[in-house]
Amino acid sequence: MENKKIMRSGILVLEDGTTYEGFHFGAPVSSSGEVVFNTAMTGYTESITDPSYKGQILTFTYPIIGNYGIPPYSSSFCNNDKKEGISKFYESDKIQVSGLLISYYSSHPYHWNMNFSLSEWLSKNRIPGLYGLDTRCIAKKLRDHGGSMLGKILMDKVDSIPFYDPNEDNNLSEKVSINKKIIYGNGKYKILIVDFGLKNNILRCFLRRNCTIIRVPWDYDFTREEYDGLVLSNGPGNPKIYKKPIHYIRIVMKKKRPIFGICLGNQLLGIAAGGDTYKLKYAHRGHNQPVISLQTGKSFITSQNHGYVLDTRNISNEWKIFFKNLNDDTCEGIIHDNKPFFSVQFHPEASGGPTDTEFLFDFFINSIVKNK
C-alpha cells in the first residue's frame, strides 16, 4: 500500500529558479527552508531529529534511505522527576527538518527494532519528502553556492509558498530549546548545559560519566547558578542572533569554572572572547570531516553540520586554536592558555557518526577535577 501512497509527483524549487522533479513521500504538504546536505551512510533517524537542522530541508547524498525504518520512542535515562526521558534512538523529541530529499526510498524496510516506516513517520509529523532525485547533483550545486540555498518542496507546480531563511529567524532558538529548567541524574559532577538546540547524545555522554545535569533554556540567566562545569550546546541559525547568552558567557568567563562549547557553543564562546564569525563558502556537512589537534598533532574524523565558522583574528593571545580542519584550514575549536575553557566546532557526541573525539568529554571532566 505504501508504494501507491508515494507515487505522487513533487518538485524542488531552489532560490535561483532551478527545479528538480521527483516523487512525493511522507506528508502531502508543501514546505520551504534552507536546503542543505548530509553525506552520512547511516543515522538518518538521528539527523532528522537533530535540532541543528531546524528550518532546513535535508538532502541525503547516500542513495539508500529508509531501509531500516524508524525505531520506537523509548527512554534510556529519566530526569529526577521521572516524568521525562531521553530517547535511546532520537536526538530530540520530534522531527526538526522541514523536508527530506533522497535518491532512492526503500518502500519495504525491515529491521528487528522497526516501529514504522520513514514515510509513515514523516506523515504523522506533517513533513514532506521527495525521492527519485539526483541528490549528488543537488549537493554539488549547493557546494557551489556556499553549501546551502533556499528552497521549497511543492506538491505541484501551481503551489505558491514563500521562501524561508532560518538564518534570518530571530526566534529559531525558541523553537528548539526547552522552556524550563530540567535536572537529570544524580552524579558526582554538576554540569550546567545551556540548551540552544541540544542533542540527546550530549546528555547521554555526561550521564555515563557520573554527572548531574542541569539543563536550562537558551536565554536563561545562568550567571548565578552553582555548577562544576558549563556546557554551551549545539544549535541552529546565525550565532550573532544570540546576544543575550553571549553577554552571560562574558560574565562567567571572569570566573575559572570550566567551559565546554560544542558546535554553535564554540562560535558563541569565540564571540564572547572577542572573535567573530562568518559563513563558509562550502560549509561542513556529514560524518567524514577530518580535523587535526594542534595540541597533539593527531588527526580525527568528525561529524559536522554548520555553515558558520569562527574567525579568531581578534581574539587575545591567551586563546589558541585547538583544532583545524584539514580540508580548508578553518578553525575547529579554541582553548584558553590558563583557564579551563575550550570549545570545538564538530560533534564529539556524534550520533550517528564517528566517535573518534568522544574523549573530549573525559577531557572536560578532568578539567573539572583539576579545578576543584
* C-alpha span between 40 and 347 (Å, rounded): 14
Amino acid at 249: I
pTM to 2 decimal places: 0.93
CA atoms within a 13 Å half-sphere pointing along the CA-CB vector of 52: 31
Domains, the chain, in order of start with CATH, read: 2-168 (3.50.30.20), 172-371 (3.40.50.880)
**What is the block-wise mean pLDDT of the chain (372 residues), using blocks of 10 residues?**
59 95 94 92 92 95 93 76 75 96 93 94 97 94 86 83 91 91 95 97 96 97 96 95 96 95 98 94 86 97 92 93 96 97 96 91 97 86
Return the pLDDT at 192: 98
* C-alpha span between 53 and 34 (Å, rounded): 9
Provide the grid cell at 122. 514523516
Return the pLDDT at 1: 39
If we measure between CA atoms, which residue out of 241, 238, 201 comes closest to residue 45?
Answer: 201
260 Cβ partners below 8 Å, 6+ apart?
229, 230, 231, 232, 342, 343, 360, 364
Give the residue numbers marked as catalytic.
Answer: 263
Return the pLDDT at 14: 96
* C-alpha span between 185 and 113 (Å, rounded): 27
Provide the grid cell at 131. 525521492
SS3 call for 4: helix
Return the pLDDT at 13: 95
247-255 own/partner pairs: CB under 8 Å, 24+ apart: 248/221, 248/222, 248/223, 251/223, 252/222, 252/223, 253/339, 253/341
